[in-house]
Structure 1
Amino acid sequence: MTDPSGFQARFGSNDHFEVRQQLRLTVNRYEIRTGDELVAVAQQKRMAFREQVTLYADEAMQTPLFGFKARSVVDLGATYDVTAADGSVVGSFRKDFRRSLLRSTWHLSQPGVGECVGRERSQLIAVLRRMQDNFPLPYHFDFAAEDGRPVMSVVRRFGFRDHYDVTVRDPALDRRLACAMAVALDALQDR
């Protein structure tokens, strides 16, 4: 998989990173960090007809690294393509709308690696989240390959600001796809 931006090299062999939402009035903004190092900044316009998020190399947001965009306009089960800055496809993900009614479920796909499924870890927390909108409950997603092998996990820390710990368990998973999926879990989860 090509990476003209050098993001994967900058990211290194880290199998753990954090996604932190920054509070802004008109946009959702996210920082992706490995330890204390900022590796990407994402920004999402609110109320867009076609969801699109671009991840940049720095806070000035001058150098795009990769991003994701919905294939269609306002679709509850839309597929999102993750592309590198040069437009090459990194992978895709989609929400399984029917299965997500009681327990959120996502499908993540990468060429040459295959598809994996991510689900909320706890059925109880999933149900409680749907009944309680005003209190932010932590939620956790585990992604596994078709053979049951763990691929990645996303754990939301308890608190009022959205903060996620992400662990990549499959070294073949493109870190750009992992970062995009982790941001999407916050940016798109309630849609």
Structure 2
Amino acid sequence: MTTEPARGEIERFTVRQKITMMVNRYEIRALDAAGTEGPIIAVAQQKRMAFKEEVTFYEDEERTRPVFSFKARKRMDLAATYDVTDAAGAAIGWFRKDFGKSLLRSTWHLGAAGGLEAIGTERDQTVAVVRRVWDFVPFAGDVAAPFTFHFDFTTADDTVVLVSERRRSLRDRYTVELPATANGWRLDWRVGAAMAVALDALQGRRRSGSF
């Protein structure tokens, strides 16, 4: 059995999406200083036609022990706030999509225990517009989007607390970084992982691989 990493221990990790006929699956692996992937530290799996409102992450591929989850406060609400909780159900963070600003450029609000709040936006405005055009292509729902779009989350004083970058691959793969702030604080990796998966699963794209 793996040991759950300490809250501030994870600085970088990858998120890989795997799609089968029956389920969608996200695997999270820590990255060392050289960029080498380690063993799985969390995995989320859900039936293809299941609702998007709740996703649970487990410590191993057999899904024997949950380690954290995110859940919408309201079902079937496009503007819902999602709470991130630990294995015991205690709140450790939250996030929600800003649908007004997201019409042209995807924007998310992120909060963490202790009162920290950050806003995440797509880094490239041009890619944001092209992605929206792509959604109207007839075959787009069956093909992974061919764009390397990235998100940066910053606080009110422009401190970066989370970076998610999509890598070129047949299926979605992201590299996520949780930079330390000036006082050494770092975003809880579980909150960062929940947000990173949501950036793929809840983006509202027509691709059949989304939650």
Does the pair score TM above 0.5? yes
Deviation, structure 1 residue 188:
0.6
- The answer to which of 123-132 and 151-160 deviates more is 151-160
2:167 maps to what in 1?
157
- The answer to which of 72-81 and 119-128 deviates more is 72-81
2:176 maps to what in 1?
166
2:204 maps to what in 1?
190
76, 87, 90: which one aligns with 1:88: 90
The 1:177–1:36 alpha-carbon spacing in structure 2 relative to 1, beyond 3 Å, is same
Deviation, structure 1 residue 12:
6.6
Deviation, structure 1 residue 162:
0.4
Contact 2:8 2:188 in 1 (8 A): no
Please state whether the residue corresponding to 1:36 is helix, strand or coil. Answer: strand
Q: Share of identical aligned residues, percent?
A: 53
Deviation, structure 1 residue 27:
2.2
Deviation, structure 1 residue 49:
4.2
Inter-partner Cα distance in structure 1 for 2:171 and 2:20: 12
Q: State the Cα deviation string for residues 45-76 of structure 1 (Å, max 9, x = none).
A: 34444511000010000100000011111111
Q: State the Cα deviation string for residues 101-140 of structure 1 (Å, max 9, x = none).
A: 1000000001214110000000000000000133421210
In structure 2, list runs of 5 or more residues that go unmatched. 31-36, 206-211
TM-score under structure 1 length normalisation: 0.90
Inter-partner Cα distance in structure 1 for 2:117 and 2:204: 23
60, 63, 88: which one aligns with 2:62: 60
**Divergent runs of 4+, >6 A:** none
2:15 equivalent to 1:7: no
1:144 maps to what in 2?
154
TM-score under structure 2 length normalisation: 0.82
Q: How many pairs are equivalent? A: 186
Inter-partner Cα distance in structure 1 for 2:105 and 2:8: 33
In structure 1, list runs of 5 or more residues that go unmatched. none
- The answer to which of 155-164 and 36-45 deviates more is 36-45
The 1:50–1:142 alpha-carbon spacing in structure 2 relative to 1, beyond 3 Å, is closer
Please state whether the residue corresponding to 2:5 is helix, strand or coil. Answer: helix
2:23 equivalent to 1:27: yes
The 1:47–1:97 alpha-carbon spacing in structure 2 relative to 1, beyond 3 Å, is farther
Contact 2:8 2:186 in 1 (8 A): no
Aligned-pair Cα RMSD in Å:
1.8
